[in-house]
Amino acid sequence: MRGVAMFIWMMFVLKIPIAMLLILVWWAIKNSDQTEEEWVDRGGGRPHDHPRPRRPRPPRRGPHAEPPPRSPSRVRARGRRLEPAHS
């Protein structure tokens, strides 16, 4: 019987704060003072009046430019041989 009472408590009584939150959000939306036409940007934040700086162009390749640099030589890492985990 105690488990049933706990289930009823969890299902109904603890829903009250959730219902109150939903009512508060509904009330705040309903009573908003500003409409979309009245909205004015009050600044704040970074202005976007200039574009971002462009990245530098990569060097030109082809018959009119010098060849690309050589790739670095590959190095193989050497370590001690691992022993099997299970013998």
Global confidence as pTM? 0.34
> Could you read off the pLDDT of 27-55 as tens digits, one per residue?
988 887 655 555 566 666 666 677 778 88
3-state secondary structure 4-48: HHHHHHHHHHHHHHHHHHHHHHHHHHHCCCCCCCCCCCCCCCCCC
> Could you read off the pLDDT of 49-80 as tens digits, one per residue?
777 788 888 777 667 777 777 888 887 777 77
CA-to-CA distance for 28 and 22, rounded, in angstroms? 10
Using the structure block, give the residue that is written with the tokens 């700086």: 53
Do the beta carbons of residue 24 and residue 31 sit within 8 Å? no
Using the structure block, give the residue that is written with the tokens 């099997």: 84
